[in-house]
Structure 1
Amino acid sequence: MSRGDYVRWNVVPWPLFDAAGGRRVPNADDLDDAQPALAAVIALMPSLTSIVTFGATALTGIMRYYTLHAQPVIVPVLAAPHPSPANGHRRAENHVRAVNALRRSLR
C-alpha cells in the first residue's frame, strides 16, 4: 500500500480541549459539528471504495454520517481498534486487525 492509496482523516478534524486545556475525546455534539466536514471530504473522493475506522469514536462518527446525513455516500466500512497505548492489553491482536482491515479495504 502506498501513501497515494489512502487518505488519513480524523472524524473530528480539529483539536478538542477540556476545561483545563487538556485534549479530550469527541462526544456526540462534536461528531455532529464535524458532519459537514466529513461529508465534504467524502464528496471530494468520487472513487472512494471503502473506509477503515480506528476506534469506537471514528466508527460512531461514520455511522452517524450514514444514518443522519440526507444523502450519504455509502461504501463498506471496516472497523479496527484505535492504536492507542491504552489498548495495549491486546496489542498483537489489534495490530493484526488493523493490518487486515487496511489490506481488505484495498480489494
Structure 2
Amino acid sequence: MNNNISTELGFLEENFPEWYHNYDDSKNNWADPYLIAYAMAYSAVLVTQEKCNLGATNESNYKIPTICPKLGAYCHSDKLISKNINPDTAPFQCINFFELIKREKLYLPHSE
C-alpha cells in the first residue's frame, strides 16, 4: 500500500460507495477495490475470470469487468470488448485469461 494506491482507493470509495463497501463476514479479504486501485495507479493490465454483468442495476453487485469500463479502462472480458476505447491510450486495462494467453502467446503451436 502506498499513496498512489490509497488515492485511487479513495476515488473508488467516493464514486462507487455501495460497491466499495460490498463485503460481509464471508468475504474476509475482499480484494476487488485493491486490485482495481493498483491497476489504476500503475496503468496496469488487470487479469480476471469474473464475468461482466453490465445489466446489474444494483451497484453493490458490480463485478470487476463491470466497474472497469466505468473508469475508462479498456476491457476484454467474456462478452465485453471495449470498441470505443483504445487499449494503448486507456488509463488501464481489464482482460480475461484467454486474452492474456492470446497476447502473450502462452500456447503450444498447433502441430499436424
- TM-score above 0.5: no
Q: Which has the higher helix share?
A: 1
User: Given the two structures, how large is their TM-score scaled by the length of structure 2?
Assistant: 0.28
